[in-house]
Amino acid sequence: MKIEIDQNSGYCFGVEFAIQMAEDELLDGKVLYCLGDIVHNDMEVARLTSKGLVIIAREELKTLKNCRVLIRAHGEPPETYRIALENNLELVDASCPVVLKLQNRVKHAYDKVKVQEGQIVIYGKNGHAEVVGLSGQTKQQAIVVMEEKDLDQIDFTRPITLFSQTTKSTKGFYHLKQLIEDRIQQVNGCLGTVDFKANDSICRQVSNREPLLVRFSAIQDIIIFVSGKKSSNGKALYSVCKDQNIRSYFIENKSELDISWFRPDDSVGICGATSTPMWLMQQVADHIEQFDSQLVSIPSD
- Among candidates 175, 127, 149, which has minimal Cα distance to 162? 175
Contact 276, 19 (CB under 8 A): no
What are the CA-CA distances from residue 215 to residues 207, 239, 251 (Å)? 14, 14, 20
| 76 catalytic residue (yes or no) | no
107, 109, 114, 118: CA torsion to nearest 10: -140
25, 44, 76, 130: the catalytic one is: 130
Helix, strand or coil for residue 37?
A: coil
Q: To which H or E segment does residue 81 belong? A: helix 78-86
**CA-angle at 206, arms to 19 and 168, nearest 5°:** 105
Q: Return all residues near 262 (Cβ < 8 A) that are at least 6 apart.
A: 1, 222, 268, 288, 291, 295
Residues serving a catalytic function are: 130
